[in-house]
Amino acid sequence: MTIKIGITGGIGSGKSVVSRLLEVMGVPVYISDVESKRLTASDTQIRRELIGLLGEEVYAGGELNRPLLASYIFGNPEHIRTVNGIIHPRVRDDFHRWVEQHTVCPIVGMESAILIEAGFAGEVDAVVMVYAPEEVRIARAMQRDAVPRELVERRVRSQMSDEEKRGKADFVIVNDGETPLIPQVLGVITSLSKNIDYFCLSENRLHPGINK
Ligand SMILES: CC(C)(COP(=O)(O)OP(=O)(O)OC[C@H]1O[C@@H](n2cnc3c(N)ncnc32)[C@H](O)[C@@H]1O)[C@@H](O)C(=O)NCCC(=O)NCCS
Ligand SMILES: Nc1ncnc2c1ncn2[C@@H]1O[C@H](COP(=O)(O)OP(=O)(O)OP(=O)(O)O)[C@@H](O)[C@H]1O
């Protein structure tokens, strides 16, 4: 049986860094942000429903009009729920398909900033929260995306607070820039994989010679 872990935490907490470490340690991770963007660009049902909601402009030039969608959802909880209701069921289905393709892996992950808000916590066996103080998260996101504080704060406010998320997590990884990360990530894997060999065999190791 494959153990599914959810990796969550607010904007700028360091989920991508933790997911990268998990992957290096042999745990493949489904990155919801990346996959939801792929689906939003390619899935005809999402396209149809977003156009129904926001007009043709939301796919101006064939591409998702990200600023338009962002200004529609961030700052309005009702709008965010509507858009999530269009995109997230497709992400859930896609994640299930992805898990089916990774049944050889004892542990897989799903990374999402809004794992709990989106109801994805029910899709996983354990929730790992990446925690950093809000001020640190805001500073990181401003620097990473070269955006003003106000924009980051609006997104922070559109997500469940990390204090609330903490209470719903099975594991908390502190990524405050001081506490070492690698031992904490290893600790989670060790705790989950007490009786299993957690490494996901790569294609080459599964089918030696296939690429030769
Ligand atoms: C709204 C969009 C167009 C904004 O794009 P933009 O390039 O400006 O920002 P980016 O995608 O880098 O998002 C920055 C951060 O905003 C937060 N965020 C994104 N979508 C959401 C959401 N629906 N609810 C709360 N926070 C969100 C995340 O922390 C994310 O990392 C884009 O995020 C999107 O298509 N979101 C809908 C898909 C989704 O729900 N993704 C979240 C993971 S399932
Ligand atoms: N421990 C750390 N020390 C220094 N910089 C860090 C640390 N952790 C993360 N960062 C940096 O902070 C930024 C945010 O981290 P990351 O992209 O992993 O966050 P995230 O939780 O995935 O954010 P988002 O929800 O916005 O996608 C990145 O530029 C990353 O390199």
CB 4 within 8 A of CB 127: no
* Binding-site sequence positions for ATP: 12-17
Q: How far is the CA of 60 from the centre of ligand 2 (A)?
A: 31
Residue 45 to residues 32, 52, 72, 82, 207, Cα–Cα distance (Å): 18, 10, 19, 14, 36
Domains of the chain and CATH, by start: 1-28+105-211 (3.40.50.300), 34-101 (no CATH)
Q: How far is the CA of 33 from the centre of ligand 1 (A)?
A: 7
16 lines ligand 2 (CB under 6 A): yes
208, pLDDT greater than 90: no
Angle in degrees, 0-180, between the axes of helices 32-42 and 44-54, rounded to the nearest 10: 80
Classify 146 as helix, strand or coil: coil
User: Predicted ipTM?
Assistant: 0.92
Residue type, 150: E
Classify 111 as helix, strand or coil: strand
Mean pLDDT of the chain: 91
13 lines ligand 2 (CB under 6 A): yes
62 pLDDT tier (thresholds 50, 70, 90): confident
Q: What is the pTM of this model?
A: 0.91
- Which residues are CB-contacts of 132 (< 8 A; sequence separation ≥ 6)? 9, 10, 12, 13, 14, 140, 162, 174, 175, 176, 177
Task: Give the closest residue (by CA) to ligand 2 atom 12.
Answer: 140
